[in-house]
Amino acid sequence: MCGIFGIHAPGRDVARLTYFGLFALQHRGQESAGIAVSDEGRVTALRDMGLVTQVFSEQKLRGLSGQVAVGHARYSTTGSTHWANAQPIIQQGRARTVALGHNGNLTNTSELRAGLLADGARLRSTSDTEVIAALIARDERPLEEAVAGAMARIDGAFSAVLLAEGKLVGFRDPHGIRPLVLGRLEDDWLLASESCAFDLLGAEVERELAPGEMVVVDDSGYEAHQAVEPAGAGSLCIFEFIYFARPDTKLRGVELHGARVRMGERLAAEAPVEADLVMAVPDSGTPAAIGFARASGIPFAEGLIKNRYVGRTFIQPDQALREHGIKTKFNPLAEVSGKRVVVVDDSIVRGTTTRKIVAMLFEEGALEVHLRISSPPIVSPCFYGIDMADEDELIAGGRSVEEVRGQLGATSLAYLSLDGLQDSTRRPEGTFCRACLTREYPTQIPDDLKLAKLRFEGQTVAGAERSLANPTKTSMLATSGTRPKAS
Ligand code: 5GP
Ligand code: MG
């Protein structure tokens, strides 16, 4: 995942506006941040590891003057925490210089990369973003055609902001997997992953880019082109609704907070339980917990305090601190002692955090811990940019709900049904990518990519092929008769 932002606004401090836009999008990526500006066509960029506020200072922003800017906040997937991967990336090609910020993941990078290298391109990294930039930078057709040409050749998920020839370009893959919104600040145009970035700047949402659409902004305003044929009604990532996007963001006209409250209400109806209080795993579980409390009539209470300053570049505690049982991110409140608690969270991925939270609550004296999850079990990896691990790292992959409950040590566990989730979005089922929940991918995933993800964890090729062929079915509720011991 990543957050992207772009602005074309001659006469304004575009770098500063981009800084604030990225600040609003910080939740989409905390590993590195960067801004590229174009000043009369000359491109300069600054990018570094860390949060937006760590990378930029007043002085550094003052060094970035221009009329157009693009920015990026990066969330790395495993093993690629390097400065070289920070974005926007700059590519100088025979046709033009481009700065590119990309959210998503391509699925045909290696093939395209081989073609580019054979054609003499100089690539510095193995990143899919550099491939997109290189395709556009060396294409000698006019900019619009070069971007459309690249869009037709790359597969997978991409929402991107690009700066070239003094123009701002935004484009979105034919499935529209990652969000991208066009905004307006008086006479100037902006692009952002989420509408919350415009709220901060006092800008208005103009509209979301359509799947396969490209928008080009120059001094005379913006032009939209349907650069590639959209794939059906699109496949917006449903995980944006479940977890990723900020609750005050609106996607397809729906405020995500409201959708998440509905998920919690539905969950209370689907998996009721007798308890003394409903609490959230903050912050992401809070809207659904509010909904659960509202629908069940069980009072909402805070049971865990979260330290919000644990970023991705957080220094890991040493072994001594770990053994002391360090609670870097969450600390339980005595409020839970002697109570039967419903703990609402939006999702379980690997189960590591959830297991610790359950144990912590029992240690604090909770009598029962009923886990209620406002999404269905995540059973299949994401190839489109969400850091969701490989199949055998997913705790619900190949396990029944009862088995997952046992692993987590909870009194009971229930997940929201797929229908319940879908209804809560108030948007039609056929407009979402739900592959992590259903194993149905909207695009062709090359077998080598699937196998690589599985084989990475040391499975044999035959074993990996077997698990590709045999999706497991899980039922939605599990309850233990006895109270599990706190560890
Ligand atoms: P787990 O118990 O699977 O280790 O963690 C579950 C928690 O991770 C939930 O609170 C959920 O909100 C959060 N979560 C889900 N997806 C992501 C993600 O992509 N990145 C981060 N940092 N947290 C996530
Ligand atoms: Mg969470």
347 lines ligand 1 (CB under 6 A): yes
pLDDT recorded at residue 458 = 43
pLDDT recorded at residue 454 = 53
Residues known to be catalytic: 2
The ligand placed nearest to the CA atom of residue 243 is: 1
CA of residue 131 to ligand 2 center, whole Å = 33
Cβ atoms of residues 138 and 121 within 8 Å: yes
The ligand placed nearest to the CA atom of residue 283 is: 2
pLDDT recorded at residue 127 = 87
Low pLDDT (below 50) residues in the chain: 78-79, 455-475, 481-487
Phi, psi dihedrals of residue 95, rounded to the nearest 5°:
-95, -35
CA of residue 229 to ligand 1 center, whole Å = 34
pLDDT recorded at residue 77 = 58
Provide the H-helix boundaries in 139-285. 143-153, 196-201, 238-239, 256-270
User: Which atom of ligand 1 is nearest the CA belonging to 387?
Assistant: 19
pLDDT tens, 177-196?
999 999 999 999 999 999 99
pLDDT recorded at residue 327 = 79
Rounded Cα distance between 487 and 484, Å, is 9
**Domains along the chain?**
3-235+460-479 (3.60.20.10), 247-427 (3.40.50.2020)
pLDDT recorded at residue 217 = 98
The ligand placed nearest to the CA atom of residue 358 is: 1
CA of residue 346 to ligand 1 center, whole Å = 8
Phi, psi dihedrals of residue 194, rounded to the nearest 5°:
-140, 150
pLDDT recorded at residue 326 = 66
For a ligand 1 pocket test, name from 74, 353, 373 the mutation site with the most ligand atoms within 8 angstroms of its C-beta. 353
What is the pTM assigned to this prediction? 0.91
pLDDT recorded at residue 461 = 44
User: Which atom of ligand 1 is nearest the CA belonging to 356?
Assistant: 2
| Closest residue by Cα to residue 396 from 457, 475, 279, 479 | 475
348 lines ligand 1 (CB under 6 A): yes
CA of residue 286 to ligand 2 center, whole Å = 9
Cβ atoms of residues 333 and 302 within 8 Å: yes
346 lines ligand 1 (CB under 6 A): yes
How many C-beta neighbours within 10 Å does residue 341 have?
28
For a ligand 1 pocket test, name from 1, 27, 178, 243 the mutation site with the most ligand atoms within 8 angstroms of its C-beta. 243
